């Protein structure tokens, strides 16, 4: 498991029903590409986050499949439509089987 | 025409230079790329300033006789001296130094006397380029431009003071100009860091000024000095900001830009709704606006040589007319403003003794500008080779640095005017011939890419100890041929390793003595600096 | 100029065949139109290790992003769910040298839309 993997999200706390809200996510992760070599010339094995999903109240917002060309500390910005108060669930899936999760609540008036 | 005759009669007057009142209801005053030059200086304009692709032969890519012909300037006239390289030394002796912040203050005061609500806008590259600015981390220039009561500025070299220092100045509460840059973003969360624009109510008119910092900061300058910032052209966002200010009632939209002229020319065509672009970075001075569609581009030169006055006629929410005057700041004609003279003297006083020390003499003209070489850079390359025992020297294609005319003493201040910056280490490395070729090709493509959006401004890296042939119109990777080691006359071998000295590396941890010390030692050794015409770069086309 | 920059010579570039394979795997060989999709990428990358890109294809089910000059051209596939507010996303990608970035959107009617932009990755320049 990669060290110090910290997910962070930015979601508005409040919105009106039917609003499209902007969401930004960032997770600290080296995204080892499998293309680099160590000091002894050996290939450093690939170790990346390969999938990221965001759901709102159980309904999918975005589901991203990721390759090694995604930069270190993967960043995503996208938008969701909110019709009711609820919770965003963010999930990152690591090559090594680790799963990292974060949530954010939004109050919809 | 008229100025030339007056000058010939030694009757050039301050009023002739500054001119009378303009028409219209909104007045802009533009100054840019002063590079901390508070004193009157000599500055030779380029002999080579090639345009490529769509820009071929278009202003500002015309020099010398072509420039005179394009703008109806008489050979040997004051404006010829100010705007072209021709016969520079002799015209410099006739017309004297240009610029000086106290003279600029006089010009600004005269315009303000006519138009108290004129907006004073600074295009950036203000806080770097002299010994006092280096020693005070730009504080001298901040104080002096505060005293000018500048309304807004944008930036480039400012960030080579480090983002922390910039933020200390901007957030410290003592910076008078608004610090604008719609394209300066926080690298982590992709959010704008500074103000995008200001809207001013002037002359009964709502004027939006949008700032655009140099887009390629982290490439052209050391990114480790501002690791949390991202720049870029961000032209889609610029288009949004233009719409936003229009939505907020702006009747006229001004882009205060540090993109460089060609990039701004293309921006003018691609981003609708900008009335005036006050350009900067590429140090061009043009006596007339360049019109692209309904957008007018103004180029106000560098080093304090010029102040632009732009009068706009804005009626019913739209710009109906524009009048522009490129005011040449002849320091012997325009009277210094006493208040500003005193302030400038105060900023220089702590360094006066150090700056005035004579290091050597100029036997020939020392200048910076030109696409391929400049004699100041020849001196720097010679210094790097002799003082750092190298075969080849590299000096960046900076466009800042005052000129020194033959017979002048070279003082320590002169050396700093050509070298003062925050990453001066003169490195000594081994590089393969292949690597040198990659470096030259890469820089050439940054200057001569036919699409201005792929250009970064600046000039070719200056090379000492090695000659080469360049075809600016060739494709990336094929522009540079005939690389030759001058000491042996042998072709550069891609597999061979050469000892290369240079300065201004963007890499963190670069080691070596400061370039000004290297140059000073060299000039002390040679005494009188004579630079032969540089024939080591062979420019071909097609 | 960053003339002292240590240039890491790039690993082998993707072959055109690899790029075609990646495109065909997504489109099934169908032609792609050029309207209705926007790809925003910088002309010149500030840092080839982290190049910001944005894709936007109103109404799309999914958008793939390819880096035609990387050893492995695949970058990401964005699948938009029912709660998406717009069929648009931004991320940051690695580019091993100057190359085209390609975005292709799959629409609900089975058609495809394609945009591409050349991004220059440079070792440095010097300014005015
Ligand atoms: Mn600049
Ligand atoms: Mn400049």
Segment A45-104, tens digit of pLDDT: 899 999 999 999 999 999 999 999 999 999 999 999 999 999 999 999 999 999 999 999
In this predicted structure, the answer to whether residue C33 has a pLDDT above a threshold of 90 is yes
pLDDT in tens, B395-431: 999 999 999 999 999 999 999 999 999 999 999 999 9
Q: Which ligand is nearest to the CA of B126?
A: 2
Record: contact A77-B190, CB cut-off 8 A = yes
pLDDT in tens, B147-175: 999 999 999 999 999 999 999 999 999 99
Q: Taking CB atoms and an 8 Å cutoff, what residues of chain A touch C84? A: 60-62, 78-81
In this predicted structure, the answer to whether residue C3 has a pLDDT above a threshold of 50 is no
Selected for mutation to probe chain C from A69, A73, A78, A87 (highest C CB count within 10 Å) is: A69
% of chain B beyond a pLDDT of 90:
93
Q: Which two tokens stand for residue B101?
A: 């912040």
Mean pLDDT of chain B: 95
Q: Taking CB atoms and an 8 Å cutoff, what residues of chain C touch A80? A: 83-85
What are the extents of the domains in chain A? 6-108
- pTM value is 0.94
Contacts of B146 (CB under 8 A, 6+ apart): B174, B175, B176, B177
% of chain C beyond a pLDDT of 90:
77
With 0-12 / 13-18 / 19 or more C-beta atoms within 10 angstroms meaning exposed / middle / buried, residue B495 is exposed
Partners of residue B199 on adjacent β-strands = B208
A36 touches chain B (CB under 8 A): no
Q: Average pLDDT, stretch B233-252?
A: 97
Give the pairing type, strands C112-121 and B276-279.
unpaired
A75 touches chain B (CB under 8 A): yes
Q: Taking CB atoms and an 8 Å cutoff, what residues of chain B touch C123? A: 438-439, 442
Q: What pLDDT was estimated at residue B75?
A: 96
Distance separating alpha carbons of residues B345 and B355, to the nearest angstrom = 13
Distance separating alpha carbons of residues A62 and C106, to the nearest angstrom = 15
Q: What pLDDT was estimated at residue C16?
A: 85
Q: Average pLDDT, stretch B321-337?
A: 97
Residue in chain A lying closest to B189 (CA): A24
**How far apart, in Å, are the Cα atoms of B265 and each of A107, B238, B270?**
47, 14, 9
Distance C102 CA to ligand 1 centre (A): 32
pLDDT in tens, A20-58: 999 999 999 999 988 888 888 888 889 999 999 999 999
Instruction: Name the pLDDT band for C43 (thresholds 50, 70, 90).
Output: very high
Q: Which two tokens stand for residue B258?
A: 């540090």
Record: contact C43-B230, CB cut-off 8 A = no
Neighbours of B316 (CB within 10 A): 6
In this predicted structure, the answer to whether residue B217 has a pLDDT above a threshold of 70 is yes
In terms of CATH architecture, what is A6-108?
Sandwich (2.60)
C49 touches chain B (CB under 8 A): no
Q: What pLDDT was estimated at residue C4?
A: 39
Distance C128 CA to ligand 1 centre (A): 4
Instruction: Name the pLDDT band for C125 (thresholds 50, 70, 90).
Output: low
Give the number of beta-carbon pairs within 8 Å between A and C.
101
Q: In this structure, what are the phi and psi dihedrals at residue C9, rounded to the nearest 5 degrees?
A: -65, 140
Q: What pLDDT was estimated at residue B455?
A: 87
A contact residues 79-108, partner C, Cβ 8 Å cutoff: 79-81
% of chain C beyond a pLDDT of 70:
85
Instruction: Name the pLDDT band for B5 (thresholds 50, 70, 90).
Output: very low
Chains that touch A (3 or more CB pairs under 8 A): B, C
- CB distance B305 to B99 below 8 Å: yes
Distance from CA of B205 to the nearest CA of C (A): 33
Q: Average pLDDT, stretch B26-31?
A: 98
In this predicted structure, the answer to whether residue B458 has a pLDDT above a threshold of 90 is no
Q: What pLDDT was estimated at residue C82?
A: 97
Indicate the helix (H) or strand (E) that contains B82: helix B78-83
In this predicted structure, the answer to whether residue B1 has a pLDDT above a threshold of 90 is no
Distance from CA of C1 to the nearest CA of A (A): 25
Record: contact A69-C94, CB cut-off 8 A = yes
B438 touches chain C (CB under 8 A): yes
Residue in chain A lying closest to C85 (CA): A80
Q: What pLDDT was estimated at residue B203?
A: 84
CA torsion B281-B286-B288-B292 (nearest 10°) is -40
Distance from CA of A17 to the nearest CA of B (A): 25
Q: Average pLDDT, stretch B299-322?
A: 96
Residue in chain B lying closest to A24 (CA): B189
Residue among B232, B439, B457 minimizing CB distance to C127: B457
DSSP state of B461: P
Residue among C50, C51, C79 minimizing CB distance to A62: C79
Distance separating alpha carbons of residues B134 and C100, to the nearest angstrom = 41
Which residues of C lie closer than 8 Å to A, measured between beta carbons?
11, 49-51, 54, 67, 70-72, 74-86, 88-95
Distance from CA of A89 to the nearest CA of C (A): 12
Chains that touch B (3 or more CB pairs under 8 A): A, C
Record: contact A71-C89, CB cut-off 8 A = no
Record: contact B394-C1, CB cut-off 8 A = yes
Record: contact B216-C128, CB cut-off 8 A = no
Q: What pLDDT was estimated at residue B8?
A: 56
Coil, strand or helix at B416:
helix
Q: What pLDDT was estimated at residue C6?
A: 37
Distance B384 CA to ligand 2 centre (A): 24
Q: Average pLDDT, stretch B474-500?
A: 96
Question: What is the predicted ipTM?
Answer: 0.88
Q: Taking CB atoms and an 8 Å cutoff, what residues of chain C touch A57? A: 83
pLDDT in tens, B254-276: 999 999 999 999 999 999 999 99
C109 touches chain B (CB under 8 A): no
Q: What pLDDT was estimated at residue B255?
A: 98
């Amino acid at each position: 498991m990669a060290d110090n993997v910290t997910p962070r999200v930015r979601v508005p706390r409040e919105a009106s029903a039917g609003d499209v809200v902007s969401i930004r996510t960032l997770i600290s992760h080296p995204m080892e590409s499998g293309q680099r070599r160590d000091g002894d010339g050996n290939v450093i094995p690939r170790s990346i986050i390969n999938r990221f999903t965001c759901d709102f109240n159980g309904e999918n917002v975005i589901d991203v499949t990721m390759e090694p060309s995604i930069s270190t500390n993967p960043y995503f910005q996208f938008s969701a439509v909110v019709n009711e108060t609820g919770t965003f669930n963010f999930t990152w899936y690591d090559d090594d089987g680790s799963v990292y999760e974060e949530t954010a609540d939004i109050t919809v008036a | 025409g008229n100025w030339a005759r007056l000058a010939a009669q030694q009757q050039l007057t301050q009023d002739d230079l500054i001119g009378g009142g303009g028409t219209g209801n909104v007045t802009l005053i533009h100054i840019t790329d002063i590079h901390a030059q508070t004193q009157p200086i000599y500055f030779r304009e380029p002999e080579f300033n090639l345009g490529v692709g769509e820009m071929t032969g278009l202003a500002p890519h015309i020099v010398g006789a072509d420039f005179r012909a394009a703008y109806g300037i008489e050979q040997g006239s004051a404006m010829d001296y100010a705007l072209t390289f021709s016969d520079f030394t002799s015209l410099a002796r006739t017309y004297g130094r240009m610029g000086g912040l106290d003279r600029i203050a006089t010009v600004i005061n005269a315009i303000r006397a006519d138009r108290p609500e004129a907006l004073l806008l600074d295009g950036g590259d203000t806080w770097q380029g002299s010994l006092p600015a280096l020693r005070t981390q730009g504080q001298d220039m901040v104080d002096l431009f505060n005293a000018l009561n500048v309304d807004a500025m944008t930036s480039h070299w400012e960030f080579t003071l480090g983002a922390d220092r910039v933020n200390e100045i901007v957030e410290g509460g003592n910076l008078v100009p608004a610090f604008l840059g719609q394209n300066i973003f926080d690298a982590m969360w992709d959010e704008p860091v500074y103000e995008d624009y200001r809207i001013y109510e002037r002359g009964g008119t709502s004027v939006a000024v949008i700032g655009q910092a140099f887009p390629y900061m982290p490439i052209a300058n050391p990114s480790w000095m501002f690791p949390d910032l991202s720049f870029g052209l961000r032209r889609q966002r610029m288009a949004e900001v233009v719409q936003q200010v229009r939505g907020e009632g702006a009747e006229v939209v001004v882009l205060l830009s540090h993109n460089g002229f060609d990039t701004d020319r293309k921006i003018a065509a691609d981003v609708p709704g900008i009335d005036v672009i006050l350009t900067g970075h590429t140090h061009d001075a043009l006596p007339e606006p360049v019109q692209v569609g309904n957008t007018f581009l103004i180029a106000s030169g560098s080093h304090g040589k010029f102040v632009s006055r732009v009068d706009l006629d804005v009626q019913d929410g739209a710009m109906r007319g524009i009048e522009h005057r490129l005011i040449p700041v002849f320091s012997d004609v325009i009277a210094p403003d006493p208040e500003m003279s005193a302030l400038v003297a105060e900023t220089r006083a702590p360094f006066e003794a150090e700056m005035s020390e004579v290091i050597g003499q100029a036997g020939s003209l020392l200048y910076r500008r030109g696409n391929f070489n400049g004699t100041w850079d020849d001196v720097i390359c010679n210094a790097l080779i002799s003082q750092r025992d190298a075969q080849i020297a590299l000096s960046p294609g900076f466009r800042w640095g005052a000129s020194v005319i033959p017979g002048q003493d070279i003082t320590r201040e002169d050396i700093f005017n050509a070298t003062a910056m925050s990453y001066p280490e003169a490195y000594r490395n081994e590089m393969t011939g292949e690597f040198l070729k990659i470096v030259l090709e890469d820089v050439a493509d940054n200057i001569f890419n036919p699409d201005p959006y792929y250009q970064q401004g600046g000039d070719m890296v200056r090379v000492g100890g090695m000659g080469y042939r360049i075809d600016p119109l060739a494709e990336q990777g094929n522009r540079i041929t005939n690389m030759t080691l001058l000491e042996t006359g042998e072709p550069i071998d891609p597999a061979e390793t050469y000892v290369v000295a240079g300065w201004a590396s963007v890499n963190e941890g670069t080691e070596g003595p400061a370039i000004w010390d290297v140059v000073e030692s060299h000039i002390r050794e040679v005494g009188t600096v004579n630079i032969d015409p540089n024939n080591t770069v062979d420019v071909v086309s097609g | 100029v960053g003339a002292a920059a240590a240039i890491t010579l790039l690993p082998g570039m993707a072959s055109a065949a690899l790029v075609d394979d990646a495109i065909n795997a997504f489109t099934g060989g169908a032609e792609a139109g050029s309207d209705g999709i926007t790809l925003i990428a910088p002309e010149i990358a500030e840092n080839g290790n982290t190049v910001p890109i944005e894709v936007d294809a109103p109404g799309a089910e999914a958008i793939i992003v390819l880096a035609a000059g990387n050893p492995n051209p695949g970058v990401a596939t964005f699948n938009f769910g029912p709660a998406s507010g717009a069929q648009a996303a931004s991320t940051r990608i690695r580019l091993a040298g100057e190359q085209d970035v390609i975005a292709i959107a799959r629409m609900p009617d089975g058609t495809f839309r394609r945009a591409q932009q050349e991004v220059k990755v440079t070792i440095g320049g010097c300014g005015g």
